[in-house]
Amino acid sequence: MVVFPPVKINLGLYVTKRREDGFHNIESIFVPVAFTDVLEVVENDRDEFRLFMSGLPVPGDADSNLVRKAYDILNEQFALPGVDCYLHKIVPTGAGLGGGSSDGAFMLRLLKAKFDLPISNEQLMKHAATLGSDCPFFIQDSACNVKGRGEILEPAGFSLRNKWIVLINPGIHVSTRQAFGLIEPNTAPSGWMEKLISAPYTAWQELAVNDFEAPVKRLYPEIADILESLKKAGAFYVSMTGSGSTCYGIFHQSPDVGFDFPENYLIKLVKGI
């Protein structure tokens, strides 16, 4: 069985509180985007889990990978058969796109479907929350308003399915720890999610801000250059996503201009989900 874990972009990202457990509370709108890894699971007769990875390199060893941890969670509950897991990485790590979180969440979903496990999506979301803050979102298939450390979700009531999105990653790794060290938590604007969802697209740029964007731009001027290029190409909303360094622009139609960036930049034209 093969699945294609997508990424997410953040429409607005406010860091509102530093928690006693070491995490931070946030407010954001997560939107799934059709830029995916490839994940396959095949049952084996060895009664063990084996992970085979290809594509882009992934930091850390196999035992720390979220797909392994997802298998271990459900194996403890359901005594699963052994499996061979094939993960082909297309989404760069540390890019603010949630690629690793999506892999872990989709592993939970894949195992549920493959082995017809008697577990609800609500239970899967609780398991996903133990994997990482962004993981519960990827049990969903639509845009969500997100609060807490990422585990409090409610449907946002809109979709970017008919919009084009340009993702540009300059190959800069911004660690989560580094990014949070650059900002001071503060209260998000009151009612900003509801205002954005009901507002015309032309107003989005003034209604949703990523708290990480300004300090990361100061460290890496390339981010500012990317965002300006997306604006000039006609995007009605541009932002850095997550803690960076991927930037995106949302377009009503596929942009008919190219982007003149170094060859190591990853540039993808995709649709919303």
Give the model confidence (pLDDT) of 61-75 as tens digits: 888 899 999 999 999
The model's confidence at residue 258, banded by pLDDT at 50, 70 and 90, is confident
Active site residue 8: yes
Per-residue pLDDT at 22 exceeds 90: no
Q: What is the pLDDT of residue 37?
A: 98
CATH 3.30.70.890 positions along the chain are 164-271
Instruction: State how far the alpha carbon of 3 is from the alpha carbons of 34, 85, 176, 205, in Å.
Output: 12, 11, 27, 34
CATH topology of domain 164-271: Alpha-Beta Plaits (3.30.70)
Contact (CB, 8 A) for 130 and 145: no
Give the model confidence (pLDDT) of 117-161 as tens digits: 999 999 999 999 999 989 999 998 899 999 998 889 999 999 999
Give the model confidence (pLDDT) of 73-124 as tens digits: 999 999 999 999 999 999 998 889 999 999 999 999 999 999 999 999 999 9
Rounded to two decimals, what is the model's pTM? 0.93
CATH topology of domain 2-155: Ribosomal Protein S5; domain 2 (3.30.230)
CATH 3.30.230.10 positions along the chain are 2-155
Catalytic: which of 134, 147, 211, 217? 134
Task: Characterise 244 by phi-psi region: left (phi > 0), alpha (psi -120 to 50), beta (else).
Answer: left
- Distance in angstroms (rounded) separating the CA atoms of residues 216 and 183: 10
- Distance in angstroms (rounded) separating the CA atoms of residues 273 and 160: 6
Type of residue numbered 77? Q
Active site residue 134: yes
For the chain, the average pLDDT equals: 94
